[in-house]
Amino acid sequence: MTEITFHFNAPNKLAYACRLLRKAVGSGAKVVVTGDEESLQALDTQLWTFSALEFLPHCRADSPLEQRVVSPIVLAAQLDASETLPHHQVLVNLGDGVAPGYERFERTIEVVTLDEQDRHNARLRWKHYADRGYAITRHDLKLKESA
């Protein structure tokens, strides 16, 4: 069963996603990031620029197969065509709704900001997972920050 984790109170969803992806890649994980096209385009840009001394190798799901197989991070607006995804290890959802196909991944991470609408959408996703019997892990970034 897919492991579901919520990361709450991210001040900036894309900046937090960059740090999360850096940590995941550093530990050897292979990650698919999903969300709306605008967010993925902005994330693509930030992955090139968020750190002057680092580059996080990534590609789009519609890239040639060789790039998708080699890249530890794949940005995918749609998860419906799972044959285009080179792995199903970790899914990071930056979207408003439950990502279709999340159950094919070993782990799904939901990133939630301080924005009230984003928090509302996260509550709906939480309910979706809980209603299906998934155990949910909660990481409150505000508590982590103050510790």
Model's pTM, two decimal places?
Answer: 0.92
Q: In Å, what is the CA distance from 115 to each residue of 104, 121, 135?
A: 29, 10, 25
Q: Is 43:36 a contact under the CB 8 Å cutoff? A: no
Q: Domains in the chain and their CATH numbers? A: 3-146 (3.40.50.10110)
For residue 13, the surrounding DSSP H or E stretch is helix 13-26
pLDDT digits (tens, 9 = 90+) for 84-119: 788 899 999 999 999 999 999 999 999 999 999 999
140 DSSP β-pair partners: 8
Give CA–CA dist 58/72, Å, rounded: 6
